[in-house]
């Protein structure tokens, strides 16, 4: 089955700096890669996703890149703000065949220092 | 917006008790999931369901069962609670892949923090 590894487990940045979180996956058939943000006391919330036919996707200050050959994908947050502080999870699944449930990484706790 | 409601925010149960965790979604989604969240381990899939009365085991189904009698409700059952089942339990519902705005994204409930003593 799919295995998703996520690094780093914790990340501290100064407000205004960029933050990068990296994930690798094992199943070459995976074709859907979402990122979730979990704030304290809440369930994870989808913030951006990318499909395997796209190499990069942007939404304002966040972007995700995908390298299918190397089987890794990354989340980039620019101009970080204190409200970006949260736990971020990457995930992967095969939307067409096999088990379609998401396999999640272990999470990254991002702290943005004012 | 899709709403996923988990009936309890906090639960404390005794070892050996039978425990029911309830989850309800309001968007007629076919796919629903139960995950448990533990520090350093991320979210691990316990069970999922792709239709009424249909279920599939996830990665860690041992000690758990599920029930989906109605489309909107997906229940997780701990047959005989043990201390190693102390965890945060998250329920999720998945939108159809052609349905905006999330096109197949998951909506999670706020979670149930279960403590087994």
Chain B from 17 to 76: CB within 8 A of any A CB: 31, 33, 35, 40-45, 48, 56, 58-59
What digits encode the pLDDT tens for the residues A17-59? 999 999 999 999 899 999 999 999 999 999 999 988 879 999 9
Residue in chain A closest to B32 (alpha carbons) equals A101
Confidence band, pLDDT 50/70/90 cuts, at residue A97: low
Half-sphere exposure of B65 (CA within 13 A, CB side): 6
Indicate yes or no: CB of B111 within 8 angstroms of CB of A43. Answer: yes
**Is A102 in CB contact (< 8 Å) with chain B?**
yes
Cβ contacts of A99 on chain B, cutoff 8 Å: 56
Cβ contacts of B31 on chain A, cutoff 8 Å: 100
What digits encode the pLDDT tens for the residues A68-92? 999 999 999 999 999 999 999 999 9
Q: Give yes or no for a contact between A34 and A102, defined as CB atoms under 8 angstroms apart.
A: yes
* Number of C-beta neighbours around residue B77 at 10 A: 14
Instruction: Write the DSSP assignment of B40-84 as a string of letters.
Output: TTEEEEEEEEEETTEEEE-S--TTEEEEEEETTEEEEEESS--GG
The predicted model gives B73-91 an average pLDDT of: 97
The predicted model gives B66-82 an average pLDDT of: 96
Chain A nearest CA to B16, separation (Å): 28
Indicate yes or no: CB of A43 within 8 angstroms of CB of B92. Answer: yes
Alpha carbon distance, N-terminus to C-terminus of chain B? 37
Report which of A24, A31, A32 is spatially closest to residue A3, judged by C-alpha positions.
Answer: A24
CA–CA distance from A59 to each of A20, A47, A62, A78, B98 (Å)?
A: 15, 9, 5, 11, 20
pLDDT of B23 reads 97
The predicted model gives B51-65 an average pLDDT of: 94
What digits encode the pLDDT tens for the residues B31-57? 999 999 999 899 999 999 999 989 999
Indicate yes or no: CB of B105 within 8 angstroms of CB of A106. Answer: no
What digits encode the pLDDT tens for the residues B89-117? 999 999 887 777 777 789 999 999 999 99
pLDDT of A99 reads 58
* Number of C-beta neighbours around residue B14 at 10 A: 9
For residue A98, pLDDT over 60 is answered with no
Q: Which residue has the tokens 């706790």?
A: A109
């Amino acid at each position: 089955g799919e295995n998703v590894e996520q690094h780093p487990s914790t990340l501290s940045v100064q407000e205004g700096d960029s933050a990068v979180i990296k994930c690798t996956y094992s199943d070459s058939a995976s074709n859907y890669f979402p990122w979730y943000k979990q704030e304290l006391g809440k369930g994870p919330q989808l913030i951006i996703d990318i499909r395997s036919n796209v190499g990069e996707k942007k939404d304002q200050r966040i972007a995700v890149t995908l390298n299918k050959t190397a089987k890794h994908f990354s989340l980039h947050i620019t101009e970080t703000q204190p409200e970006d502080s949260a736990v971020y999870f990457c995930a992967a699944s095969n939307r067409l065949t096999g088990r379609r449930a998401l396999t999640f990484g272990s999470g990254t706790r991002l702290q943005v220092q004012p | 917006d899709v709403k996923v409601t988990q009936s309890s925010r906090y639960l404390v149960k005794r070892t050996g008790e039978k425990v029911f965790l309830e989850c309800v979604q309001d968007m007629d989604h076919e796919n629903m999931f139960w995950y448990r969240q533990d520090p350093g381990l991320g979210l691990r899939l316990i069970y999922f369901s792709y239709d009424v009365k249909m279920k599939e085991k996830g990665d860690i189904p041992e000690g758990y069962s599920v029930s989906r009698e109605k489309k909107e409700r997906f229940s997780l059952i701990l047959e005989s609670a043990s201390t190693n089942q102390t965890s945060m339990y998250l329920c999720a519902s998945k939108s159809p892949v052609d349905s905006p705005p999330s096109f197949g994204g998951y909506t999670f409930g706020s979670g149930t923090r279960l403590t087994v003593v």
